[in-house]
Amino acid sequence: MSPRPAVSPRDWSSHPAYIHPDYKSTHLRGPTRPLIPLKDTLRQLRAPVYGHDSIGALDHDLTRNAMKNGAPLGERIIVTGRVLDERGRPVRHALIEVWQANAAGRYVHKVDQHDAPLDPNFLGAGRCLTDNDGRYRFLTVKPGAYPWGNHPNAWRPNHIHFSLFGEYFASRLVTQMYFPGDPLLAHDPIFQGTPAGARDRLVSRFTLDVTEPGFALGYEFDIVLRGADETPMETKR
């Protein structure tokens, strides 16, 4: 068996803490005891977890993958980017899953009782595999802000959740993508809980190169897995 390639250590100073004083629910779910290392036999589980045949033709298109009687309401957007390692090399065939609120700021979930309309043509979930250049691409609608009860008059900024899987199930990483110029970022304890020097890595970039005329605005969001520019993740150590 060939030796594992050497990788740089994670920059833990770029990631938010498990328990953040201003983010109240972390006090209930953040671990307070040392984590238990997984045995190699489980940590290195490689198959079967998912495969190319499990990705549907419309899984990446949230504007069509749940249509019943028309297109979903809201501002159409394209979200694309690359998944890169610490040396800027593409990470190929990584599974990316996304989930988000609809344009009115509501999730399709029984726990979400926000007094905002559900969209019968929008599920708010999608997935795709990165290509040989490490690139992914989703079509969706811009998610709305929503109240979340963390503190008085608390509203979450517009955001999309990202989950990434590598070669085995235990390699999962989770993060959030925000939008440029959102005034709620300054008031959001989840975003503010990320170390100041790394917060901008969570904000996407608007670009006309991705925008499609007459159809949708384009945003780029690259995800770097390790190194000096690594993307802050919710799954820390």
The catalytic residue among 60, 156, 178, 219 is: 156
Active site residue 159: yes
Q: Are strands 146-147 and 155-156 parallel, antiparallel or unpaired?
A: antiparallel
Q: Which two tokens stand for residue 116?
A: 């905002």
Selecting among 23, 136, 146, 178, the annotated active-site residue is 146
Q: Could you say which of 15, 106, 127, 159 is catalytic?
A: 159
Catalytic, 161? Answer yes
Verify whether residue 168 is a known catalytic residue. Answer: no
Name the strand (E) or helix (H) holding 43. helix 40-43
Active-site residue among 107, 136, 178, 219? 107
Q: Which residue type, as a one-letter code, is found at position 60?
A: H
Query: DSSP letters of 177-209?
Result: EE-TT-GGGGG-HHHHTS-GGGGGGGB-EE-TT
Catalytic annotation, pick one of 161, 172, 187, 199: 161
Q: Is 107 a catalytic residue?
A: yes
CB 54, CB 194: distance < 8 Å = no
156 is catalytic: yes
What per-residue string of b and e applies to 44-64 under the rule 16 or more CB within 10 Å gives b? Answer: eeeeebeeeeeeeeebbbbbe
The residues annotated with a catalytic role in the active site are 107, 146, 156, 159, 161
